[in-house]
Amino acid sequence: MATELHLPIGIPLPPGRMIISDEGDGDLQPLWLSDGPASAGLWVMVRAEHVRTGLWPLLLDSGEPFDSEFRPWGAGELFPERMSSPDAHDPAELLARWWKDYTTLDEEDDMLSPEERQAVTAPFGQLWPGLASSPRSLLDPDEMAAEYAEHFVARRPQSRLGLVVAGTGSDAITVAGWDGPLNYDNDTAKFSAVVRGWEQRFGARVVAVGPATLHLSVAAPPLTAADALLVAAEHFAFCPDNVWQSSHPYTLTAYSEQLIGAHCWEFWWD
Q: What range does the domain containing 72 cover?
A: 3-86+134-223+262-268
pTM of the complete model: 0.92
Domain-located, residue 104: no
Domain-located, residue 229: no
Domain-located, residue 182: yes
Domain-located, residue 64: yes
Q: How many domains does the chain have?
A: 1
Q: Is the pLDDT of residue 247 over 70?
A: no
User: What pLDDT, in 10s, does the model give residues 12-51?
Assistant: 889 999 999 877 556 788 999 999 999 999 999 999 999 9
Higher pLDDT among residues 246 and 147, named by residue: 147
Query: What pLDDT was estimated at residue 8?
Result: 58
Domain-located, residue 250: no
* Cβ atoms within 10 Å of 68's Cβ, excluding its own: 9
Sequence letter at residue 136: R
Sequence letter at residue 177: G
Q: Is the pLDDT of residue 80 over 50?
A: yes
List Cβ neighbours of 17 (8 Å cut-off, separation of 6 or more): 1, 2, 3, 32, 33, 35
Q: What residues are paired with 164 via a beta bridge?
A: 56
Dihedral of the CA atoms 73, 84, 239, 181 (nearest 10)? Answer: -40
Q: Is the pLDDT of residue 153 over 80?
A: yes
